[in-house]
Amino acid sequence: MLDPVLLRKDIDSVVTALKRRGYDFDVNRYQNLEEQRKRIQVETENLQSKRNTLAKEIGRLKSQGLDATDVMQESARIPNELKALEEQLNAIRHELDTWLMSIPNLPHESVPSGQDEHDNVEVKRWINGQYVTADQMPDSLGFEPADHVTLGEKMGLEFDTAAKMSGSRFVFMRGQIARLHRALAQFMLDTQTLQHGYTECYTPYIVNAPTLFGTGQLPKFKDDMFWVTMGGDEEDKRELYLISTSEISLTNSVNGMLLNASDLPIKLTAHTPCFRSEAGSGGKDVRGMIRQHQFDKVEMVQITHPEHSYEALNEMVGHAEHILQLLGLPYRVITLCTGDMGFGAAKTFDLEVWIPSQHTWREISSVSNTEAFQARRMQARFKNEQGKNEYVHTLNGSGLAVGRAMVAVMENYQQADGSIIVPQVLHPYMGGLTVLQPVK
């Protein structure tokens, strides 16, 4: 949620920043609502002052033995008038808050302006154990690479089995391929906790609407969510949602809290399934595991002091990079332009891994600083050095998307005979299995 103080003090800067995101802020609507809010507040304060004055007058008249009937009748009307004003004020605040909840975050000044992914800016590229120039490409495998679907169908990757149960964009894994998927998740969790200092968490996979308002998925992205209704009596039924990322549950762990500055930063990670309806994705990536309704992800979340959030952003990018480097996968880091950033982000870096069968880079992690945008919605604050309450900054990022990491491992480590070499860092998790072999 945007800073209401900034809106009142410097609306021009807000309008300019939002224009960079392609959002036209309705200044007239805002100013009209603000004028109504101020007018009602002034009327309320005047009535409250009048009530106090009349009370004193009633007391004076009675103490002098004079008739206070008229004054008492005038005073008796004030509570109803105050109640009417309160209802008007609540209605205006509700309209204003609902509207502001639908407005995206302001981009950081360092974010490049642009319309879409074509205007994103590459920051660095890593191939064969080192950073390289942006024109260098990964080495050829020496044969025509198969995609992960073709490789996996002989190793326990079963899309038809899943389709019988759930429809398209689901997968059933069996045997060695299921073990590889689990190994990747465990390796990522161990790296994030033991090397990068995150606290491992287990979170609910189903959350309520206020939780989604806190991190910004609602109200704007309801159609992207899977939601369920609890059973039981009609009065007990309530709408709940399957999480699209554990960013939701991890970040909301500080919802409504007043932290101490010494508590910061808070670094959390979790391995969870993620559920997305992929509304609006059309026919994109229907084949295989690139775009699924259900997938696993190891998430990173940091809750930080505002002065240190951009340092934390760079640190988190490094943590995601480290996973890819340990796996020996070629990747690049790009800064998203204003037109390609997510709703709540002030700045985002995407990590894209090389997919040989597509001869292209595909997103495997997105790391964002939302600054105080989510914290205002959640009322997550800390007591600063001056003893004043201040909003924390929240950051989130994939560390990494497990399914896409498995796709990248399968395709980059495939051999001409259809086998797949298991990266060395995964050997401790594979029970001695170092090569995946076709079984049918």
Binding-site residue ranges for L-serine: 245-247, 276, 299, 396, 398
Q: Letter for the amino acid at 285?
A: D
> In degrees rounded to 5, what are phi and psi of residue 157?
-95, 105
Question: How would DSSP label each residue in 33-66?
Answer: HHHHHHHHHHHHHHHHHHHHHHHHHHHHHHHTT-
- CA separation for the pair 14, 133 (Å, rounded): 37
Contact 369, 308 (CB under 8 A): no
CA angle 364/367/372 to nearest 5° reads: 155
- CA separation for the pair 323, 185 (Å, rounded): 11
Q: Which of 246, 189, 156 is nearest to 405 (CA)?
A: 189
Contact 1, 376 (CB under 8 A): yes
DSSP strands (E only) in 315-415: 331-335, 347-355, 360-369, 381-383, 389-391, 393-401
- CA separation for the pair 274, 402 (Å, rounded): 11
Binding residue positions = 245-247, 276-278, 299, 363-366, 396, 398
Which element (helix H / strand E) includes 131? strand 130-132
- CA separation for the pair 281, 291 (Å, rounded): 9
Q: Which of 426, 172, 182 is nearest to 298 (CA)?
A: 182
- CA separation for the pair 312, 318 (Å, rounded): 10
Q: At what angle do helices 176-190 and 309-327 cross, to 10 degrees?
A: 140
Contact 288, 147 (CB under 8 A): yes
- CA separation for the pair 355, 287 (Å, rounded): 14
- CA separation for the pair 399, 318 (Å, rounded): 10
Render the burial of 350-383: b for 16+ CB within 10 Å, e for the rest. bbbbbbbbeeebbebbbbbbbbbbbbbbbebbbe
Binding residue positions for ATP = 276-278, 363-366
